[in-house]
Amino acid sequence: MNDLENYFANNTGNLIMKWRHYFKIYERHLSRFRNSEVNILEIGVRDGGSLQMWKDYFGPNARIFGLDINPQSAQLRESQIEVFIGDQQDKTFLTELAQRLPRLDILIDDGGHTMQQQINSFDVFFDQLSDHGVYICEDTHTSYWASFGGGYRKPGTFIEYAKEKVDLLNAYHNRHGEPGFEVNDFARSTASMHFYDSMVVIEKAPKQEPELKHTGKMRLPRFKATRIPKG
Amino acid sequence: MNDLEKYFENNPGNMINKWTHYFKIYDNHLSRYRGTDVHILEIGVRHGGSLQMWKAYFGPEAKIYGVDINPRSRELEEEQIEIFIGDQGDARFLAELREKLPRIDILLDDGGHTMDQQILTFEMMFLHLSEQATYICEDTHTSYWNTFGGGFRREGTFMETAKGLVDDLHGYHKRGRNENFRVTDYTPYVDSIHFYDSMVVIEKDRREVPETVRSGNPVIDQGKNP
């Protein structure tokens, strides 16, 4: 068990509801922020249990922000934890919120899980994340559920949106000048995208033109394969 | 610099030709196998330099296998390193390779980088790999290059295949009647899919139906927003 699993198993604080396999993924992508001055925003507060978990996990220099649509969540404020009330689908509200918040290092979207909520939140907050920030969208199986606006390979779901971003990780190799495949802010600032059951993790890092390099001794003469490609 | 970057920069052996950002990704995904009796297969040997690097990195218990289409590659065999000659685009060859290598913990496809090669190799080898294996496909930017059978968002490229696997990953959450969205052969064995510039890493693990868990005290009246 990692520390988060431990905390969860012995939780004496407020209610936490998560998928069991999330804790391992959190640890993998977030442990490097422990005991630093990390700023984290979690959308979807509910009973505030996971905000308390982050406070415990990241340590005394962390600042934990929550966003929920339920006004009652405001009472969950405590030291290191601040809660904002509003609608994550409302881009105007999100943009104002982004301006009020300090630099964010981690964003976890565990809000309403509808397509427009997830996409609008990403659109506003991804650029706001620090250079080495991490964006996590949870419960992405709703991308396949009609009641959340999802559908299998349906354009406009969060998963399909994320798949389009995957191409941009390769934008430096846009040989044929394809429109929509140019090096843009996302390509320049994103290192990797990680897909798990119900979770998408996007890691930022400033990127440069990739470089091919060789070292060591040549051993064999040039060889041209003679196979005939199929199809 | 991690140990692979150090090895590469001071390479005492045969030529290695890699994109410089690969070394960090390798270390992130593969360091857990160091010092074990890991079995690694790299398709695309060239001068054999990366096979030597894996040997240095994984240690004396590791078994390193290479596959190349150039018959002369066999000259690069040495202790811990065995090389097979064949075409990764040939299903019969890959089926034979599975017989010869009953255990593979890491597969790196740095072969010919065409769509048919990358996809056939994945389809034939992935489920054959051991339960907690790591599959790496390299130079996936060829998925966007015409000369390799690629094209931006074109069906039938390795990248589009890998994106399709993202749907398989969610198969346990099937709802509704769409027959295409279901638990596939891959769903119980794919833990995660990681996309980088030019590289796709697929981690295997045995998966069951996921479950939600709760602990702690409910304190907020959820009203109509459960």
Q: How many helices (H) and strands (E) would you count in chain B?
A: 6, 9
Q: Please list every residue in chain B whose beta carbon sits closer than 8 Å to the beta carbon of residue A73.
A: 220
Q: What is the DSSP letter of A217?
A: B
Sign of the dihedral defined by the CA atoms of residues B97, B103, B108, B114, in that order: positive
- Burial letters for B116-140: b for 16+ Cβ neighbours within 10 Å, e otherwise? bbbbbbbebbbebbeeebbbbbbbb
- Of B43, B27, B49, B205, nearest to B137 by C-alpha is B43
Mean predicted lDDT score pLDDT of chain A: 96
Q: Please list every residue in chain A whose beta carbon sits closer than 8 Å to the beta carbon of residue B152.
A: 167, 174, 176, 178, 180-181
B219 and A141 within 8 Å at the Cβ level: the answer is: no
pTM for the full model? 0.97
What are B18's strand-pairing partners?
Answer: A213
User: What is the pLDDT, as a whole number, of residue A227?
Assistant: 59
Give the whole-angstrom CA distance, residue A72 versus residue A47: 9
Give the whole-angstrom CA distance, residue A88 versus residue B211: 26
Q: At A226, is the pLDDT very low, low, confident or very high (cuts 50, 70, 90)? A: low
Cβ of residue B214 closer than 8 Å to a chain A Cβ? yes
Q: How, if at all, do strands A199-204 and A212-215 pair?
A: unpaired
Q: At A74, is the pLDDT very low, low, confident or very high (cuts 50, 70, 90)? A: very high
Q: At B224, is the pLDDT very low, low, confident or very high (cuts 50, 70, 90)? A: low
Q: At B225, is the pLDDT very low, low, confident or very high (cuts 50, 70, 90)? A: low
Q: For chains A and B, what is the number of CB pairs under 8 angstroms?
A: 231
User: What is the pLDDT, as a whole number, of residue A231?
Assistant: 40
Q: Is the pLDDT of residue A20 over 60?
A: yes
List, as ranges, residues 183-212 from B with C-beta within 8 Å of A. Answer: 191-198, 207, 210-212
End-to-end CA distance of chain A: 50
A167 and B114 within 8 Å at the Cβ level: the answer is: no
Active site residue A113: yes
ipTM rounded to 2 decimals: 0.97
**pLDDT digit string (tens) for A26-41?**
999 999 999 999 999 9
Helix axis angle for B115-125 and B91-100, nearest 10°, is 40
Q: Is the pLDDT of residue A230 over 60?
A: no
**Side-chain-facing half-sphere of B36: CA atoms under 13 Å:** 11
User: What is the pLDDT, as a whole number, of residue B36?
Assistant: 98
User: What is the pLDDT, as a whole number, of residue B161?
Assistant: 98
CB A22 within 8 A of CB A44: no
Which stretches of A110-228 are assigned E, i.e. beta strand? 129-138, 190-196, 199-204, 212-215
More confident residue, A227 or A117: A117
Residues in Cβ contact with B146 at an 8 Å cutoff, skipping those fewer than 6 apart: A176
**pLDDT digit string (tens) for B112-139?**
999 999 999 999 999 999 999 999 999 9
User: What is the pLDDT, as a whole number, of residue B222?
Assistant: 79
**pLDDT digit string (tens) for B156-204?**
999 999 999 999 999 999 998 899 999 999 999 999 999 999 999 999 9
Give the whole-angstrom CA distance, residue A59 versus residue B51: 42
- Burial letters for B215-225: b for 16+ Cβ neighbours within 10 Å, e otherwise? bbeebbeeeee
Catalytic residue among A21, A29, A113, A214: A113
A195 and B21 within 8 Å at the Cβ level: the answer is: no
